[in-house]
Amino acid sequence: MSVLENQDFYSPYTSISRDSWKNLNGQLSFSLTQDDISSLNALNEPLNLEEIQDVYFPLSHLLNIHIANANQLFHHEKKYLQLERIRSPFIIGIGGSVAAGKSTTARVLQKVLSLWPERPNVALVTTDGFLYPNRVLEARGIMNRKGFPESYDTRKLINFLGAIKAGVSDTEVPIYSHLKYDILEGETQKITNPDIVIVEGINVLQVNLNPLHKDPQVFVSDFFDYSIYVHASEKNLVDWYISRFVSLKNTAFQSPESYFHRYAQLNEAETLRLAKTIWDDINKPNLIKNILPTRFRANLILEKGSHHFVKGVKLRKT
């Protein structure tokens, strides 16, 4: 037994190096163009074909094993119960810190899962759309806690997931604008007959236990068939956050329509200082108290290195 295997023997997770993980892919391959990769990329998050082939092709293969097993179980159970039932979509939750790269992971997974021979309809939903509008956050005095559990309309998110699991064919979710830093009132994302739904957000694995709540509680993750956590060290996270903030200051913040336009004329030192302050006052406390503790609730953890590329995987044992 190797040292790694010995360390994992009594752990609920199996640790898999990147080299071992990519070799699990076998002969599975998809056709991706440079335009595809560019459309999946995010600001200051390098993404290349090698990363997609080494990390996301094997991950999509693993997820298809779970989806196939879930479909088989559905048909066996349907026959056993002798009931007419509708197969509900397979729901994948993706969590992790601000700046960890959850959105990129979600977009890449949506793309590679949709390329399978069955050509499944893969919908992607971000929980940003379930944030309360700024006017509500301001009225409640919690605008500076945006992203914390209390800033989300969790009931609306749970109702949406409940409808998806019930097999409702047409659903709508609110749309969030990062430019305006707010919900776009009256605008929605329409989701029709999805086979797979990916739900991405910092809060998706949180349980938010309230000791004063006596009734049974339902959590967002209760609706997931599979869950993924995108993990990186805090040092990397703060570096990535500050780097992204600086890039946004030089691009999106320059637009008069941007919520953060007031920061557009800051000099370099002021920009770095502001980004670090926002991290220390808001993102770091949220990470430590609410996000990081949910890591080991995931079925699979993608562990990132300093350059945003995945260096290893932790897979929950079954």
Alpha-helical runs (H) found in the chain: 3-8, 18-22, 34-40, 49-51, 57-81, 102-114, 134-139, 154-165, 234-250, 268-278, 284-286
Cα 317–Cα 63–Cα 110 angle in degrees, nearest 5:
140
Task: Please provide residue 173's backbone torsions phi and psi, each rounded to the nearest 5 degrees.
Answer: -130, 150
Are 109 and 60 contacting, i.e. CB atoms less than 8 angstroms apart?
yes
Q: What proportions of the chain, in percent to the nearest 5, are helix, strand and coil?
A: 50, 20, 30
Q: Which amino acid is at 95?
A: G
Looking up tokens 């349907």, which residue turns up?
78
| E-strand stretches of 134-261 | 170-177, 182-192, 196-200, 226-231
Looking up tokens 């929980």, which residue turns up?
127
> What pairing do the DSSP bridges indicate for beta strands 226-231 and 300-304?
parallel
Claim: this prediction has a pTM higher than 0.75: yes
49: closest CA among 58, 62, 37, 67? 37
What are the structural domains of the chain?
11-316 (3.40.50.300)
Tell me how far apart the 2 most distant CA atoms of the chain are, in Å: 68
Per-residue pLDDT of the chain (318 residues), as tens digits, is 344 445 566 789 999 999 999 998 765 667 777 778 878 877 778 888 889 999 999 999 999 999 999 999 999 999 999 988 888 999 999 999 999 999 999 999 999 999 998 899 999 999 999 999 999 999 999 999 999 999 999 999 999 999 999 999 999 999 999 999 999 999 999 999 999 999 999 989 998 656 555 555 889 999 999 999 999 999 999 999 999 999 999 999 999 999 999 999 999 999 999 999 999 999 999 999 999 999 999 999 999 998 899 999 999 998
Are 18 and 314 contacting, i.e. CB atoms less than 8 angstroms apart?
no
